[in-house]
Amino acid sequence: MTDEQILAAYLKRDEQAICESNAKYGSYCLAIAQRILQNQEDAKECVNDTWLRAWRAIPPERP
């Protein structure tokens, strides 16, 4: 999925957007989180929290 398609999925409130974001950027985000946190489990939780915050940041209705 392209970034534009992922964004469109988020805007449609399609939960597949989270899966696609994780598939495309998850390993990169996890590497950054592990470097900062120095703990694998905390890093995984941090990345999961990131996707959840992205999901919650989407307005329920598009303006």
pTM, two decimals, is 0.81
Could you give the angle at the alpha carbon of 7 between the alpha carbons of 34 and 20, nearest 5°? 50
pLDDT at 6: 95
Amino acid at 41: E
Break the chain into its structural domains and give their ranges: 3-57
Mind listing the pLDDT tens digit for each residue in 33-54?
Answer: 999 999 999 999 999 999 999 9
Share of the chain above pLDDT 90, in %: 90
pLDDT at 29: 97
Backbone angles phi, psi at 34, to 5 degrees: -65, -40
- Between helices 16-37 and 3-11, what is the axis angle to 10°? 110
Helix then strand then coil, in percent of the chain rounded to 5, is: 80, 0, 20
Mind listing the pLDDT tens digit for each residue in 15-36?
Answer: 999 999 999 999 999 999 999 9
